[in-house]
Amino acid sequence: MIIESTRDSDLPALVELERLCSPHPWSEAMLAAAVGGSTGEQVCVARDEQDPQASIGFCVYRVVADEAEIHNVAVHPEHRRQGLAHSLLVRSMETAAGAGATVAHLEVRAGNAAAIALYRGLGFELVGRRPGYYSSPQEDALLFSARLGQVSQTSGGLR
């Protein structure tokens, strides 16, 4: 797997991947704004080493002052449970820390057990809840935060 910053030419593959992975996908315009950097977001992409043109996962994040916000993580269903989301998050947080971020925040559906386990394994801690935040189905959002200097080393997270 190769993880690197996205290029404009990645947009069609990211749109397809987002539609495949999310019941409520980001629009092409939202992804284009993130890839183009017009919203202050950054996007890193995971590529298959056998086919470097194939995008198999991505992470959208933004650094504001000393905080990083994880906005979106997607991994192709055929490549899940292989550590891609973990690697994408670690790379994003390393980049964010290099830009001065000391803490990272994210939110997740309360019923997304796999993502919650991933985030906890990286050292994220539950800091809040937004009741009924998500729709279709209605579900609470769980808010997680991690100090970037304290993300778990044992899980392969940031130091």
Tell me whether residue 133 is one of the annotated catalytic residues: no
Q: Indicate if the alpha-carbon torsion angle 76, 43, 117, 2 is positive or negative.
A: positive
Q: What is the CATH number of the domain that holds 92?
A: 3.40.630.30
Confidence tier at 38 by pLDDT (50, 70, 90): confident
Answer whether residue 158 is part of any domain: no
Q: Which of 18, 41, 107, 134 is catalytic?
A: 107
> What value does the mean pLDDT take over residues 95-118?
94
Tell me whether residue 67 is one of the annotated catalytic residues: no
The model carries a pTM of 0.88
Q: Which of 119, 133, 134, 139 is catalytic?
A: 119
Q: Indicate if the alpha-carbon torsion angle 80, 84, 90, 96 is positive or negative.
A: negative
Residue 149 has pLDDT above 90, yes or no: no
State the residue range of the domain holding 64. Answer: 2-150
Rg of the chain over all Cα atoms, to the nearest angstrom: 15
Domain count, the chain: 1
In this structure, of 11-20, 66-75, 82-91, 142-151, the range with the lowest mean pLDDT score is 142-151
Residue 67 has pLDDT above 70, yes or no: yes
Confidence tier at 153 by pLDDT (50, 70, 90): very low
Answer whether residue 155 is part of any domain: no
